[in-house]
Structure 1
Amino acid sequence: MKNEKMLGQNLTIVVEFILLGFSELPKLQEVLFGIFLIMYVSVLLGNGLIILITKIDPSLQTPMYFFLGNFSFLEICYTSVTLPRMMMTLWTNKRNISFLDCGLQLCFLLMLGGTECLLLAAMAYDRYVAICKPLYYSLIMNYKMCIQLVVGSWISAMPVVIGQTYQIFSLPFCGSNKLNHLFCDMPPLLKLACGNKLIHEFSVFADAVVFAMVPFLFILGSYIKIINTILKMPSGTGRYKAFSTCSSHLIVVVLFFGSAIITYSIPKSRNLSGMDKVLSLFYTIVTPMFNPMIYSLRNKDVIAALKKLLPK
């Protein structure tokens, strides 16, 4: 299969990409495959267990665990967009990816990433209502509200993401077809595009602001109010329980938003491809892998539910 089509005498148009990934580490391909396989299995098992216990355990039939179950399902989907393809590349050493496959991967990556940002914001709102307005919690966070927040998180980013993916792949990709990244993502794709990319680079930044920075600021504002309320609690036990409930969510927020915002806020960077790869692993693999551990190790209800489910 040819990687390029000739147009005129000196200009070529790329019709597929070569994902360089970890090609600079040829001796570690099998080791990396093993590491990623373990990570993927951990993501599937850990998040699968969270989904299971939040569905079957009566003590976890609350809005907080409803959001956690949906978040775990989202993490499985998010990781599955990139990790199986990366493992296949490491195993077979076939790095080519077609325009269509690259476009679909980018579209689902952005869609699920935007959903994760919004769902984390919804989870922060749930904690805010629970701690700052406990008397109205059952009234505000009813089943209908929970469904609306989850569905809204899933569908809000879809139109923007589809349009942005179309814009990216409407650009002419001429010359090199080597994508110096682990998967198809906007910043590395824009580096290969020709012509005036200013408006598209701005759209990447705008996307980061709307679907990452705004939810992050909302979460930050919610937790400022939450912490202020917790510090006013007279009971030390109550303060500890409230902090323990919120700390798990905060750790996930910092891991995901920190790496994603840095990556998408510097689309013009050409000298940080190695750092981009490391950061991309954080928000696509590391956070989904540690999510079940973060929530279970710091949550007595989840630990109790796991003890009931798993044989001693």
Structure 2
Amino acid sequence: MIPNLQFYSIYLSNHFKIKSQIAAYFLDLNEDQTNSFLYESGLTVNHIEFIKTIKIDLIQAFYQSVESLFGLMSGLENLDSNRNIPDYLINAKIGDLHNFISSFEKFDFCYEYLSNKDTEINGKTYSKVEVIFYFITLVISDFPNTNLNQILDEKNVKGIAHILFSIANAFNREAHNSIKHGLRCMLIDKLNISVNIPDSDNSEPLEIPEDFTNFAGQKDVLLYYTKGPKGDNVATVVCVPINIKHILYLENSLNLLMANMMDQRDIVFGKEKPDTFQCSIFDYDDLIKNKFDSNSNFKSIRFGSPQ
């Protein structure tokens, strides 16, 4: 059994951050820059195939990070001292995890889940936003000179609720499976495409909505194959518009939440206590204003020293 303390200290909390930043770097390159990289790297693929692969990898990493985030949330929401988090994660059923993710598709649920004070420790009650994302507040006496108002402020709670709501609605289990199981997918970047209708000689035109505009005005649709209605083993084509900029934004937000969860636990349970550290806070008004800006500068709060 892997002890929780070791799990917190070795967890790769920046794993998905690194993957998304690598993707963002290549997606920001123009065609000449990309071709120069491919030539110098000895990769004998064309520019279009390379960029589509980067996008598919980003989408897949995002779906995987969503499962990781909510899996950790479900494991960490309970302060049972006997719960071993690694054991909990490997024994959790994937269907239960997906149901947990689906419950966050409604904003009201997200906000109530975070704000309800339903966890009691030594006679004091805490909300899940504190227990999950600001665990350090449970031992705040070790970090003086810190104002908790910013953490418990309604704008921050609503901001995190908005992020969880957006992430849950962007998650697509079938698309996720189509990528990781046999690569049953492709990216289509034409404005008008047609898909054959099963058992018919006709085709149905598909239009990509205008608001799904990505880098350099490109428009992306993830086309994947899945089973039809229950009991139907015939492959069905599904097309999902993908906004790559928005995926990068959500991934950035998710990575900050992940760091809040894991880094604070590493500090609380670790042997070495830093004199100061900082964690992210999420102003709801700013999130709504900058929701398609993957380079948004999120705010942070510093613990342990005058701000």
**How does the TM-score come out when normalised to structure 1?**
0.38
Q: Taking CA–CA contacts closer than 8 Å with sequence separation of 6 or more, which of the two structures ends up with the larger relative contact order?
A: 1
**Greater helix share, structure number:** 1
- TM-score of the pair, normalised by structure 2: 0.38
If each structure's strand is expressed as a fraction of its own residues, which one has the higher value? 2
